[in-house]
Structures are given as structure tokens and as C-alpha cells.
Amino acid sequence: MSDMLGISSSAVAAYQRALGTVSNNIANVSTEGYSRQQSTLTQSAPRKQASMFLGTGVLFTAVKRAFDTFAESNLRNSNTDLATQTPLVNYTQRVMDIMGDKSVGLSSALDSFFDAARSLSVDPASTVMRTSFIRSSEGVGSRFAELSGQLNLVATETKQALESAANQINTLTEQLALVNQQLTKSPSLDGQSSELLDRRDLLLRQISEFARIKTSFTSNGIVSVSLGSTMKQSLVVDGLKSRPIGFDPNSLSKIDLVLDPYGNTEPLSGTSGGTMGGLNTFITQVLEPAQKSLDFLATTFVKEVNTIQQAGIDGYGQTGVELLGIDSKAPTASEGIRVLLQDPMRVTTGGLFRVSQNTNNASDVRARVSFSQSPLPPGISNPALTNNPFTNNPLKIEVGGGRLFAPVTTVAAGMDNAAIYLDNVKPGQQLHVMTRDGRQLIGTALNEDEKFQMLTTDNGFSPALTYSDKYLNQSGEKGYRGANVFYGTKASVLYEQQFDKLGQPDKPTPTPATLTSGRVMPVASSTELVVIPKGAIKLNDESLGELKLAEGEVLSPLKVAAWLNQGMDAHPTFSSDQSPLVKNILADTDTLEVKNADLFSDKG
């Protein structure tokens, strides 16, 4: 009887504990993170009597969690995927509501703008219609600014949501690190408290709602968590330590997450999924493209409207000016649209080309004007005439065959500081620079025979040209379209680099500008002779008097030097780009030297 009582008592005790486990499961059926527990019963060691073994009852050995690692991992991944879509869908719907609303969206403002433009085209003389058009333009600018402000508000909310998610992850990772510290008390997983393991798994599920995680477990249940693609980077929980998530304050981007922003900072790379992943996806794929598209639309709208405005004539008969502008101080183009016109009469309502129909003309003929640039005749532009800084290797131009002129080259419109050197000039030769429509800029005035030979279409001139020497050798306000022209001989001050005793560069030494003439041939005159007429030569842009020989006097370099010095004394003004050191003309038996002077002639 004693053996029966022992077996019965062990069985009652074991099943009492098993019923306690069942009761605990029922009591915690609604407890978040609780895992169902199972009782483990094992047979007591049998006792040998005679030649047989008799059972001694049952033992209650352990209570284990009914836990599936694979199912728990899938649950965390499913939570991550669901949490990714929630903010992405919600915030995208907000952007769609902002941009697509019929009453507060952009379409209604643009419709009002084009309706006002259409009404103005029907009655362009109406001041009321012009004013209405300007007000509708202001309405479009205001609507662009409102939409940009709404998108900026969404951007602020998403960043705040990211900050909140990062703070919640930091709280959860700190708690998980504390749980890991408590798990160190047992060397094996079987000896761990079910409550601690449930808290660990609940924290992992909660973290997975904010970002996709990777986990690594030790033999006693301690877990490490990574937000990256591998366990070697972006560890937010590393055993017993947690690392906070924050925003890099030095980053120029809108959002740049880092680990441990106030310690050993590490870029948080590879983060995806969850609430944070959904917010990042929304920002990069929806919000930022929408903001850039809105700014591009605003810029394009302003540009195209101004193009049309500037291509017409306003109420004063003047060419139109810009209607809209973008404030450079505004943070974005869509927030900076401004109406530049306040006078309704400045709105253009007419084209630059207008046709007034005769009331007696009953036909349906429509006027049309087209323009095409006439091509240059072949052979006018000289491809061999290139930029040549060496005057000692010039290009030779032959003038023969009874011609008075030979075309050299064409100078394209828009060229700056073009310089052509004419050396080895034969008596009577001149360099002429003219426009295709017959305006002579450089040279000497043409007579009728010269006009007949030069101004032909074969030489590149327009068939409908009219010759004019109004701008001949003129500069500034008197020059052709304000161009500065110099025709003659010029010398400039040169600077020679000097070096000190140590070989270091010293202050350069100026060398006087020098012009040297050719050989002055002696000319004897039996009567009074004018060698150079008055005004034929300009020195420093001042016309010189005449050079003449008295009866029986011989022309010599000394005579010419005295005449030039007299002219320089009478007009001691130098160009602004010159720094005169000496101002004299020297003569030897053959040549003249003019120092610090510009010498040019209307006659060559």
C-alpha cells in the first residue's frame, strides 16, 4: 500500500503543477508578448525488486515556452513590411490631396490666369481686363507659394516622425540591453526565466516595427541587433550595450541618420523597412520629387510667360518687359514668384508684327513674313588668316590684275579686340573695314569708282546696301554702335622684369614707347611746297598742322622732327592708357623716333 500511496502522491503533485501552468496560460491569454508555457513530466527512476523493476511514479521536471524561432522571425519581418507601407500610403495621400484638390490646387489658379488672358485678348484696350490679368497673375504666384508651404509642412512632419521613431528605437534598445544584462545570470538558455525571454522577444518585435533588423543570439539567449544589411555594421545593441540613433547636425542633407551622434559617430547605412524606412521612401520617392517638380513648373511658367510678354507691344506702344520674376532671396522658386508690373498698360496685348486688313478686301489671304540670313559668297572668308601673334611672319595678300581692292577676310559679329596689322604697305594702299550693309568703319572715304568696284555681292556685301562714311575712324558715341576703333600706328610702354641680388623678382623697369619711321628722303623744292597737308596726320588723337617747305628749302629728318615736336607741344594730351616718361622726337640723318606717342593718319 505504501508504494501505491507514493506513486499516487507524486502523480497528484505533478498534475497539480501542470494545472498551475495551464491556469497561468489562461490568465495571461491577453498579456502582450506572453508565450504559452508547457509542463514537462518525466518518469521517476524505477526500483528493482527481485528480478524486475517497478515504477515509482512521475516527476514534474520543468516549464518551457512553446516557442518557434522560425515563426517569430517571420512575424518580425511581417511587422516590418506592414509598418513600411503605413506612413508611405498616408503621407502620399496627403501630397495627392494637396496637389490635386480642385479648389486649392494649382489647376484652378492656372485656369483663372488663362481665362483672364483670354478675356484680355478679346478686349485688349480695357483697363479693367488688364488689371484683372495682373491680379490673376498674382493669384498664380500666391497659389504656388501656398502649395510649396503645404509641402514644406509635410516635410517638417515627416522629419518629426523620423525623430520620434529614432527616439522610440533608442528607448527600446536601452531596455533590450538591460534584459541582456539580466540574462547573463544563467549560463544556458534552459535556465533562463520565461518572463525575461518573453520581454526580449517583445522588444525585438517592437523594434522591427520601426526598421528591418538582423539578430544574433548567444547560447544563453543574449541578443545583438543590427539595422544594417550585416551583423558587422549598424549595431544598435551589441550584447550588454546599446547605441543611440540621431541626426547628424553637420549634414547638408535634409535627413542623415547616424549611430551614437554624441560619441563614436558612425553613418547608419543600409537601413530599410519599418516606419523609418517608409518615411525615408516617402521623402526620396514622393515628397522631394514633388517639390522639385513644383519648382521646375514655377520656373518654366515664369520663363514662358515672360517670353510671350517680351515678344509683344504694351499699351504705350513699347516693347514688353518681364511680367513675372523669381525672388532670389526666396528659399524655393515656387515661393518666390513676384509680379513685376503694377501698371496695367504695361501688359502686352499686341504682336511686333501687325497686319491691318482693308475693309474692302474680301479674300481670305493671310500675311506672313519670314527671314533667312543670306549665306556668305564662297571665297570671301580667308581660312588662312588665323590668330597670329608674330608680326614677323605675316600673311601675304596680293592685289593684282588691274584691281583696286582685294578681299582679305570677314570678321564675325561679336568678336572683341580684333587687330589687323598691315605691314610693307605700298604707296597708296589702304586697309578698309566695312559692314555688309555698306557702313565704312576704317580706312579712307571711297570715291564713286572705288564704290563701284568694292561694293559688290561677290565681295560679300548685301544687295540692298547704302554706302555711308558717317562712322569712318570714329569711336565711342560717334562710332558704329558705340564701337571703339583705332586706325594707325601705336606704341606702348614696355616693362622689363628686374631681379635682385638673390635672384628674386624686383619691380619692373618701364621702357619708353618708341615709334621709328622709315627713311626720310631729302626733297628739294624750287617753290614753296606743302609736304603734308593740315589735318592729314593725327598725333595722340590731335590733328597736326601742315608741313611745308619754303622756296629752296630741303626736307630732312630734323625738319620733320621739329614739326612733330611743335605739334606735341601744342597738344600735350596723352591717352588714358599711357604713362609718358619722355616726350620728344629725335632725328638722325635718316630716320625719326617718336617716343610715348600714338601716330595715325586719315590718309595712311
Question: Which residue in the block uniquely carries the three cell numbers 502523480?
Answer: 11
Burial pattern 239-262, b for ≥16 Cβ within 10 A else e, equals eeebbbbbbeeeeeeebebbbebe
* pTM for the model: 0.54
Report the pLDDT value the prediction gives residue 584, as an integer from 0 to 100: 46
The 10s digit of each residue's pLDDT in 237-265 is: 888 888 888 887 666 555 678 888 777 77
In this predicted structure, which of 159-173, 197-211, 556-570 has the lowest mean pLDDT? Answer: 556-570
Q: What cell does 267 get? A: 553613418
Answer for the pair 29, 76: CB distance below 8 angstroms, yes or no. Answer: no
Q: What is the mean pLDDT of residues 428-441?
A: 84
The 10s digit of each residue's pLDDT in 344-385 is: 999 988 877 766 667 777 777 777 777 776 555 444 455 556
Question: Which residue in the block uniquely carries the three cell numbers 606702348?
Answer: 492
Report the pLDDT value the prediction gives residue 132, as an integer from 0 to 100: 93
The 10s digit of each residue's pLDDT in 100-156 is: 887 778 888 999 999 999 999 888 888 899 999 999 999 999 999 999 999 999 999
Answer for the pair 472, 443: CB distance below 8 angstroms, yes or no. Answer: yes
Beta strands in 218-369 (DSSP E): 223-226, 235-238, 241-242, 245-247, 257-259, 266-267, 312-313, 324-326, 337-339, 350-351
Report the pLDDT value the prediction gives residue 266, as an integer from 0 to 100: 80
Indicate the pLDDT class of residue 449, thresholds 50, 70 and 90: confident
CB within 8 Å of 442: residues ≥ 6 apart? 431, 432, 433, 472, 473, 485, 487
Helices (H), ranges, 46-193: 69-100, 106-122, 127-183
Mean pLDDT of the chain: 79
Instruction: Tell whether the model's pLDDT for residue 213 goes beyond 80.
Output: yes
Answer for the pair 313, 352: CB distance below 8 angstroms, yes or no. Answer: yes
Do strands 598-601 and 37-43 pair parallel, antiparallel, or not at all (unpaired)? unpaired
Q: For the chain, what are the domain ranges? A: 2-66, 72-281, 376-487, 494-601
The 10s digit of each residue's pLDDT in 522-553 is: 777 778 888 888 877 777 777 788 888 888 78
Instruction: Tell whether the model's pLDDT for residue 579 goes beyond 70.
Output: no
- Checking 553-559 for CB contacts under 8 A at 24+ apart, the result is 553/524, 553/525, 554/522, 554/523, 554/524, 554/525, 555/520, 555/521, 555/522, 555/523, 555/524, 555/525, 555/531, 556/520, 556/522, 556/587, 557/520, 557/587, 557/588, 557/589, 557/590, 557/591, 557/592, 558/587
Do strands 52-54 and 47-49 pair parallel, antiparallel, or not at all (unpaired)? antiparallel
Answer for the pair 311, 304: CB distance below 8 angstroms, yes or no. Answer: no
**Between residues 547 and 572, which one has the greater pLDDT?**
547
